[in-house]
Amino acid sequence: MESRSTVLTVAAVVATGVLAYAVYFDYKRRNDPDFRKKLKKEKKRVNKSLAASQQAEAAASAVSPAMLREALEALRSEPPVPLEDRENYFMAQVSMGEQLATQGPTFHLPAAIAFFRALRIYPAPAELIGIYEKTVPAPVFKLVLEMTNMDTRRPSHRTSQLFTSCPLILDRWMDGRNAGGYRLHVKKTPILIIYTLILPALRYLLFRFAFIHLLQHVLIHTSPPFARTIVSFQQVVARVTGYYDVFPPKSMNVSVVDQQTSTAMKGPRKVLVVNRDFAAGETIYKEHPIVAVLDSDLQIAGTHCTHCFRVIEPGLSITDENVSKIMPSAYCSKSCLVASKTRGHALLFTDESPLPKELLAGPMPDMLDSAGRQAAQQKFYDYLKSSNRNLPLVAARFIARQIVAETNRLASLASGIGAKPSPSTPGSGSEENDYVNAEDGDYQLADHLERWRFMDVVPPEGEMSLITDLLKQTLPGLDQFTTEERYAILSGKMAYNAFGVCFNGGRDDRPAPEVRPEEVEKTRTPYGTSRQIGSAVYTVSSYLTHSCDPSARVSFSSGTTELHLVANRDLKKGDVVTIAFVDVNQHPDESVAECKRRRRVELARGWKFACGCDRCEAEAREFPASQPQAEGAGAPSDPEEVVGDQSKVESSMENFEANPPAPISLNVVHDVE
């Protein structure tokens, strides 16, 4: 009786609670406008999700049996994959399928073709189909099943010799810095989960934490019956910490080291030091940029090469109608035209296919809206002209370079070249006259980017949406890789690390910006941003630090964007290399104090730090008088009061370097049949 009474009491309380919530919900719905807005937004989100699901199902059903048969015929005509290449081929096709499956319904058939290629050479198709069912999007999986039913060929028994390897099943993940261990079950069975550890290649565009990306590099496979897989956690850590062992390359004559105390730029940071002695006037290294953007007035005039900034004599420019359809572009040579297209210009400002031909196997429905793509390109270019700023295009070209590099990397996998880009692969960073990459370790653009310093910036309203719309119209799905947070960080890195390209001391006719002084773009140049012809970003030179009495200077004596770092004075091995971010020379109409204040105001506005170099400290002692407030409401009231350095590195990288994970013991269990 007592138990029954308790149950009734609980039921009454629950019913009362439900009724009270219903009354409260109805009251809020009738009287709270914000609550109604929230309900409407939630309803729209649900409807949008439902519509997307229905669209995906419709897209899958839109693929006719004839298209599937045509795809199968194309697959049967492909040459057989050599036995020694099948493992790489399998992983490449699964990785490609994962990428295409995320790009929207129009890519479902190409994704299914990639998954089916992997299935055909897999020794245990039934097991792989079971995995596909759990991990592959339903519309794509449906197409794979239909192709399997249509196919009368059976996978060769010889393929089982290749994939009888050692899958790794991670039972436990290490928590923070606590020492832990992975228990690895090593079985003499086909690789069932390899592809689940292959991170999608375009994950680089997510500016991910490097540690996660490195997981794919710790898999070591040997063939049974002697298979013994030992995966050391130190291999993961070594790839993160070993970056500076292979970058910069030894040929650059400099190394990146940690400096705990810095005079000019307060706080610990990474700096460049020379690896040998240099005499004053000697060139330390030369470097080509990752991306470069010509000032808009020169871009329109066609007086300089869009790619390398070389001055073009009248009547000698090389143009391309498709390349110049949206943005007028002139080139000094055919090689510059080709390099510009393959490094991102074609993706941003032409109607050429954004994917290499190797990724477009099999029949495919129309996937691109050419008119929409051209309209998005025109809107972005109009914004560039009206804003008279270089940094939005610098950021867009950097994103485009990442996309091009990763799609070419996938294309290399698809064609059997291998995961590491060949020296001739566009966007690999190992081409002639391309940016300086690590000399070993297969590091990508994102590995460089995530280690750069940046400062907090707020991009103008609507700027990111123009870029994301352009990417979406170019290749559906690319827009998801550019969120507000990521774009703000990317903009901050481009703003902090961009150099101003100046020839022979710079020019005098650069249009004056029509914004407040504190909003003017700043680039690293000893002649002042107002004298540059364009902006460029470099991998090695991004580690150069400022001093008002620099030990080296940046020169563009080749008449192109190739940066020459020249010693200002004799340098000994291990000396820190510094340059001037701003014009540090005292002008004829300036006093020492006025010169000091001018350069410190520019540094505070452009890079958010107060210089503490020996020259500034000596002048501060000699001229201690207080200064008037700097022009512009957004400038610091007194740069002398700016303490420390407001630039930073990404928190994930900073935390990893400050608190490296403890060594992990690996318990390897062999299941012997």
Per-residue pLDDT at 649 exceeds 70: yes
Question: Which long-range contacts does 256-263 make (Cβ < 8 Å, 24+ apart)?
Answer: 256/543, 259/576, 262/545, 262/612, 263/612, 263/613, 263/614, 263/617
Per-residue pLDDT at 54 exceeds 70: no
The closest of 665, 146, 110 to 367, measured between CA atoms, is 110
Percent of the chain clearing pLDDT 70 (strictly above): 69
pLDDT attached to residue 19: 64
Q: What is the pLDDT of residues 269-282, one digit of tens each?
A: 899 999 999 999 99
Per-residue pLDDT at 632 exceeds 80: no
Rg (CA), the chain: 29
Looking at 145-268, which runs of residues are DSSP E strands?
164-165, 181-187, 189-190, 254-259
Of 350-364, 476-490, 562-576, highest mean pLDDT: 562-576
pLDDT attached to residue 133: 84
Question: What 3-state class would DSSP assign to 270?
Answer: strand
User: End-to-end alpha-carbon separation of the chain, Å?
Assistant: 60
pLDDT attached to residue 251: 95
Whether 165 contacts 221, CB under 8 Å: yes
The closest of 526, 548, 552, 546 to 615, measured between CA atoms, is 548
Per-residue pLDDT at 595 exceeds 50: yes
Q: What is the pLDDT of residues 69-93, one digit of tens each?
A: 888 888 888 888 777 777 788 888 8
Q: How confident is the model at residue 667 (pLDDT cuts 50, 70, 90)?
A: very low
Q: How far is CA 566 from the centre of its chain?
A: 30
Average of pLDDT values for 600-622?
90
Antiparallel, parallel or unpaired: β 499-501 and 534-537: antiparallel
Whether 215 contacts 197, CB under 8 Å: yes
Can you tell me the distance from the alpha carbon of 664 to that of 673, in angstroms, rounded to the nearest whole number? 28
pLDDT attached to residue 628: 43
Full-model pTM = 0.66
